[in-house]
Structures are given as C-alpha cells and as structure tokens.
Amino acid sequence: STEQTLILVKPDGVARGLTGEILRRVEAKGYTISGLRMLTPSRELLAAHYEEHEGKPFYEPLIEFMSSGPVVAVRAEGERVIEGFRSIAGATDPTVAAPGTIRGDLGRDWGLAVQQNLVHGSDSTLSAERELGLWFA
C-alpha cells in the first residue's frame, strides 16, 4: 500500500555533492518527494532517532558523524516505498552493497569506526512514523 518513509542524505553524501544524484534515483524509481529539509542535526535529535543503537560500539562515532555537518531529510511517498528505498540504498556496508544501489555505486569504506554510507532509510512502518515525527515535527 502507499506508505511514507524518512530518507536522510547523511553528511558524507551532502559533503560529496551527491544530494542531487541520490534524490534523482528516488524520483526516477517513481517515488514522490513530499517533504525536504536541510539541517545540521542536534545530538538530541540524533539520540532520539538512533535510540535502538544506544550502547553499540558504533553509537558514539555515529552521533559524532551525523552531527558533523548538514544532512538532507526527505519525506518520500509511494507504493511500498519503505522496502523499495532500502532496496535502492543497498546493504549497510558499502563494500558489499550490490552494484546498481546507491551505496554499491557511490559508497566508500573509509576504514572508520562508523559506516559513512551516504543514506538512511526507515526500516518499518513503525519506525517510519516515529522518525518522520522527529525530523518533520
């Protein structure tokens, strides 16, 4: 059914000038962009967004990285967009992400404590609702 999801172009994607290329792929797939914001997220917003990762080894580096510069937050809509965006984003680790995906084509492993993997996409209807409420309050 028609869904909404939260997509983030992370600081590495914005800094590398890949925002347009990433949004192009979302629109080319047929999804509609219905919300768009650029902001440097606060640690408070990121702590709420990443609450399920608290305590993991990559948590602190993740918050540091995500608050290091501007991100582009996108509300995208479409039939099964949650699963569909995760499919075009590719696997979390850019080294193994399939060619043809955003991370597979454009992502780099920088050998850091956190995967700077260009994009985030909500992983379920529940997290999409929760995350859209945080980023598009």
| Residue positions annotated with a catalytic role | 120
CB of 2 to ligand CMP, least distance (A): 23
Q: Which of 8, 30, 28 is nearest to 19 (CA)?
A: 8
In sequence order, the 6+-apart residues with CB closer than 8 A to the CB of 100 are 90
3-class DSSP state of 5: strand
The pair of three-digit structure tokens given for residue 79, joined into one six-digit string? 């039939």
104 contacts ligand CMP (rule: CB under 6 A): no
Among 25, 75, 103, 120, binds ligand CMP (CB under 6 A): 120
Residue 113 tokens read as 């404590």
Least distance (Å) from ligand CMP to the CB of residue 56? 8
Total residues in contact with ligand CMP, by rule CB under 6 A: 8
Is there binding between residue 5 and ligand CMP (CB under 6 A)? no
